Structure 1
Amino acid sequence: MNLDFLERRIDVKNIKTYILLISIMALWGLNVSIIKILVSYFPPVSITSLRILTAGITVFLILSIMRKVRKPSRKEISYIVFGGLLSVVSHHLFLAIGLTGTSAVNGGLILGAGPLLTAILSSILLRNKPTGIQVLGFLLGGAGVTFIVLSGNKGISSLTPGDFFVFLSILSQALSFIVISKASKTLDPRLLTGYMLIFGGVILFVMASIMEPGGLKGITEAPAYVWAAFAASAVLATAIGHMVYNTAIRNIGPAEASIFLNLNTFFSLAGSAFILGEVITINHMLGLVLIVGGVISGSGALEELVFRKRRKENSQYM
């Protein structure tokens, strides 16, 4: 009886995590359109560093109220440094460089390979082997992303150096999920998020001062709605979004959490339609069906439902 109660609690906990992840993916999808607004007013690296630093400060303010702030150990500092370099600095820098030298189609397809790449790295580095149903989920999600990205385009252009930088961006992010998974065993993932954002934001700010001298000059001249967009992106999408996502990595694992990233493609399109007035077609909706199927399978939710159904059937014969 106690085991039954424990299993029900685990299922409920996972379901709550899944719901939170879907909400964060919607937030991150909308954030793509918001960032487009920001970079139309400010140099990309400069405004990114300021946005990430603001997010880091927000995380620490929240955790201070919760009394969750503490100094990290030497080992935890190494995780913060590696995680910040991978998740914040490398991911954002390589992505910015890569997307200036490749097509949106190629970039979208490479980014869509993130969940599968995370699953492979988790299997190698963490020895977490995905099940057959989860592998099917990764493939379905990738197919859905491919379907959406190619919808309305003429096809894939030839590979360029920009494609390599986009791949480095998603590789950095996938490796950061492994680091976060290891670090969260001793360090609260929300606090880890704050440290990584501050560390990475400072590094990006220094790089921005070199790459974009005077990048934030005239920053006060931006209209009020741009600052509202900045606040939404920094506080909601970056600060709270990463706190929730990194906590999910600890709860359900890096590979399972990464499968939800496939939803970003659709939600970013929805955000483009809602905020920028772009059109969503039937092909986008068909791609969404594949992505949702991939999320249900790859996250482990389908296996949980099958397990509970079989367990209920078996109990009836006992």
Structure 2
Amino acid sequence: MQKAIFYILLLLVMVIWGLNVVAIKIVVEAFSPVMITSMRIFTAFLVVMPILYLRKDFCKLTKEEGFLIFVAAVTGIFGHHFFLSVGLTKTTASNAGLILGLVPLSTSLLAMLLLGDRITLFKFLGIICGITGVSFVVLAGDSQIGFISVGDFYIFLAVITQAVSFIFIKKATKTVQSRLVTGYMQFIGALLLFIVSIRLEPSGFSTLKEGSMTAWIVFLASAVLATGLGHLIYNKAIHHLGAGETAIFINLSPFFALLGSAFFLGENIMITQVFGFFFIVVGVLLGTGALEQKYQLHKMKQYEYAANKK
């Protein structure tokens, strides 16, 4: 029963995360992108902080733990959200949602390169499918074969920076509670984004007065539901279901981003994006080892069944 509840919660989180790409697109076009992103991340931190306090998660960090969390914050919060916010001002929400679907595959690839994870046939095929999928998305943008927009490139950098952060998060959470890592990352990342926004967007504060009520409501929904509570639920699901089973749900996020961009922003969904979505999903399932684990488990059960029959 508990497993079914987490499945429902994960599905809800994927809907929220998919629509969050649309929400961020609306927000960064209504305000100065980096300034409003720093405020969005800090608002998420304010949501998480009372939970950390009530659960008594705060503890003294070692130098190594502090370093790992800082690097994770620089890449996963500052880098990822900087490129995401700026990129969404220069590309469509549908393209961004699909490219972001590469995060699990990119993380798996970096784990092979940096952590020495074994490269298998399944993972190799997954990488090929993932590259093929993103090629459909970015190389056929605006129906111009061979055209890669600056916005798509920024979103791709957002994928890489988040994938790098997951490597450091994985190391940090071996000794530090994942909720605490998330909270520290949000605080550090929001502070760095705010400092950069003052430099890059001198008139950033003035745009806050120009935003509509709708834009502010979308801002709060994105900060509280997607960035704050969404990550807490996802981390809790990892603890109960395991990282592999939980990661499979991420494949649904680009689908909801596509639907949301069409419904709320009126963006056209092209056939190349549909093909791209298909290859990216297959690539993630293969590249992250999700299908390989299922295949090996099936073989093991067949072997046990045959052995018992004898």
Shorter-chain-normalised TM-score: which range?
A: 0.7 to 0.9
| 1:175 positional shift | 1.6
Who is 2:265 aligned against? 276
Instruction: For 1:104-123, list aligned pairs within 5 A.
Output: 114-123=103-112
Who is 1:3 aligned against? none
CA distance in 2, matches of 1:18, 1:140: 26
Who is 1:155 aligned against? 145
Identify unmatched segments of 5+ residues in structure 1: 1-11
Matched, 1:227 2:213: no
Percent of aligned pairs with the same amino acid:
44
| 1:214 positional shift | 4.1
Matched, 1:196 2:185: yes
| 1:92 positional shift | 2.7
TM-score, normalised on structure 2?
Answer: 0.79
| 1:151 positional shift | 6.5
CA contact (8 A) 2:21 2:93 kept: no
CA contact (8 A) 1:180 1:246 kept: no
1:174 to 140, 143, 163: 163
1:89 to 49, 63, 78: 78
| 1:118 positional shift | 2.8
| 1:201 positional shift | 0.3
Mark the CA change 1:125 to 1:200 in structure 2 (over 3 Å): closer, same or farther: same
Who is 1:143 aligned against? 132
Matched, 1:38 2:27: yes
Alignment RMSD? 3.7
CA contact (8 A) 1:49 1:204 kept: yes
CA distance in 1, matches of 2:202, 2:114: 40
CA distance in 1, matches of 2:107, 2:286: 16
1:56 to 45, 56, 61: 45
Who is 2:243 aligned against? 252
CA contact (8 A) 2:98 2:257 kept: no
| 1:58 positional shift | 1.1
CA distance in 1, matches of 2:121, 2:28: 42
| Equivalent residue letter for 2:107 | T
Matched, 1:304 2:293: yes
| 1:112 positional shift | 6.4
Instruction: For 1:9-20, list aligned pairs within 5 A.
Output: none
Who is 1:289 aligned against? 278
| Equivalent residue letter for 1:252 | A
Identify unmatched segments of 5+ residues in structure 2: none
CA distance in 1, matches of 2:291, 2:262: 31
| Equivalent residue letter for 1:53 | F
| 1:49 positional shift | 0.5
CA distance in 2, matches of 1:185, 1:139: 31
Who is 1:4 aligned against? none
| 1:271 positional shift | 1.2
Who is 2:15 aligned against? 26
| 1:76 positional shift | 1.6
CA distance in 2, matches of 1:130, 1:24: 30
Mark the CA change 1:58 to 1:95 in structure 2 (over 3 Å): closer, same or farther: same
